[in-house]
Amino acid sequence: MVNKKQQKNFWQSLKKPFLVMAPMDDITDFPYRQIVKSCGGPDVTFTEFVSTDGLCSAGRNRLLHDLKYLKNEKPIVAQVFGSKPENFTKTASLIKKLGFDGIDINMGCPFKTVEKQGAGAALIKTPVLAQQIIAATKKGAGDMPVSVKTRIGYGKDSSKIWIPQLLVMKPAALTIHARTQKEKSRVPAHWDVIKEISAVIKSGKSETVLIGNGDVKSIADAYLKAKLYGADGIMVGRGAMNNPWFFSGKDEMEVTTKERLRLLLKHARLYEKTFKGIKRFYNLRKFYSAYISNFSDAKKLRIELMKAQNSEQLEEAINKYLLSE
């Protein structure tokens, strides 16, 4: 018989293998997640990571826009980072009240600004604190599932020691970026280590769901990796960052130039509406290459769109280009 707490754990009800869009700082914000969802979308969505210290400070309201979502993104998980267990308890309680389906603890980010706080990948070096943080998060989360995203080690692969220290805390899901902190994303992902971790989980009859992450090139590649390495799900980062249509399975070359530019305009309007008075419009530029590539005069058009100060100017430039075609 399934108890109420198990029913709340959506991870257990997902059809395997499932696909997840990785939380990427300043990339997977609300507007971009909505754009990806309109093109097909993943089975599970993650927010950008948000500071637990920030959410427990007087400046909380300035961070709440990072936790904006719509029901069409469900199941959706809020990812957070920090190093103070008490703030994880408070944050988990807030995340639950906001209606999220789960909360994920970032224990893999290699950014210096994050690690200086003892957070992200720095927690690999302090396993006792990592365990305390998981316990504190569970306390605030109640029946909402708590998951962890981490790497296979810090300076070297220490997964045989590090991962069991996490599994003993029984996270609902565990995402493994198959590289060390030192490697960042500079070397091929070590999927053989994912396979070893899968064997450990299965041999221990753990209910923790395993998600593999690293170098996923396509939907077919994701399903193949899940099968070969024993992952229940696959998380996609850079592949989805550069291709809003990734989860639809549609080849980028199947998307017409007009479709690309109309989607960019839709993205720009939503970005402007969402972040008015919060972020400057030019921050949208980092997404241009995802839409404007692999067609004639793409570079010339990107340069022209760089001049746009708002969505209206962007639309003018796009319409001018389309009329010239």
pLDDT digits (tens, 9 = 90+) for 54-81: 999 998 998 999 999 999 999 999 999 9
Q: What is the pLDDT of residues 209-268, one digit of tens each?
A: 999 999 999 999 999 999 999 999 999 999 898 889 999 988 777 888 999 999 999 999
Give me the pLDDT at residue 324, please: 81
The overall longest dimension of the chain from CA atoms, in Å, is 65
DSSP three-state, residue 63: helix
Q: What is the pLDDT of residues 5-39, one digit of tens each?
A: 444 899 999 999 999 999 999 999 999 999 999 99
Choice among 1-15, 153-167, 280-294 with the minimum mean pLDDT: 1-15
Give me the pLDDT at residue 250, please: 80
Question: Is the bond into 17 cis (omega within 30 degrees of 0)?
Answer: yes
Per the structure block, which two tokens stand in for 107?
């224990």
Query: What is the distance between the alpha carbons of residues 207 and 209, in angstroms, rounded to a whole number?
Result: 6
Q: How much of the chain is in helix, strand and coil states, percent to nearest 5?
A: 50, 15, 35
Q: Which amino acid is at 188?
A: P
Backbone angles phi, psi at 104, to 5 degrees: -120, 135
Q: Chain-wide mean pLDDT for the chain?
A: 94
| Strand ranges in the chain using DSSP code E only, listed in sequence order | 18-21, 44-51, 76-81, 102-107, 146-153, 173-180, 209-213, 233-236
Give me the pLDDT at residue 31, please: 97
The CA–CA distances, whole Å, from 225 to 118, 127, 214 equal: 32, 28, 10
Quick check: 43 and 249 in contact, CB under 8 A?
Answer: no
Quick check: 51 and 251 in contact, CB under 8 A?
Answer: no
CB atoms within 10 A of CB 62: 11
Choice among 8-17, 278-287, 296-305 with the minimum mean pLDDT: 296-305
Q: What angle do CA 218, 221, 224 make, to 5 degrees?
A: 155
Give me the pLDDT at residue 108, please: 98
Give me the pLDDT at residue 255, please: 86
Per the structure block, which two tokens stand in for 209?
């769901």
CA torsion angle 32 117 191 234 (round to 10) = -30
Give me the pLDDT at residue 4, please: 46
Per the structure block, which two tokens stand in for 232?
């229940």
Residue 314 has pLDDT above 50, yes or no: yes
Residues 6 or more apart whose CB falls under 8 angstroms from that of 99 comprise none
Quick check: 233 and 17 in contact, CB under 8 A?
Answer: yes
Quick check: 148 and 105 in contact, CB under 8 A?
Answer: yes
Instruction: For residue 39, indicate whether it is catalytic.
Output: no
Give me the pLDDT at residue 39, please: 94
Give me the pLDDT at residue 298, please: 87
SS (H, E, C) 101-120: CEEEEEECCCCHHHHCCCCH
Q: List, in order of start, the domains of the chain with CATH numbers.
A: 4-248 (3.20.20.70), 256-324 (no CATH)
The band of 323, judged by pLDDT with boundaries at 50, 70 and 90, is: confident
Residue 294 has pLDDT above 90, yes or no: no
Query: What is the distance between the alpha carbons of residues 152 and 232, in angstroms, rounded to a whole number?
Result: 17
Backbone angles phi, psi at 30, to 5 degrees: -55, -50
pTM of the model: 0.94
Q: What is the mean pLDDT of residues 44-52?
A: 97
Q: What is the pLDDT of residues 94-140, one digit of tens each?
A: 999 999 999 999 999 999 999 999 999 999 999 999 999 999 999 99
Give me the pLDDT at residue 242, please: 82
Query: What is the distance between the alpha carbons of residues 59 and 304, in angstroms, rounded to a whole number?
Result: 37
| Strand ranges in 55-127 using DSSP code E only, listed in sequence order | 76-81, 102-107
Give me the pLDDT at residue 6, please: 43
Q: What is the mean pLDDT of residues 190-198?
A: 98
Q: Which of 19, 80, 105, 109 is catalytic?
A: 109
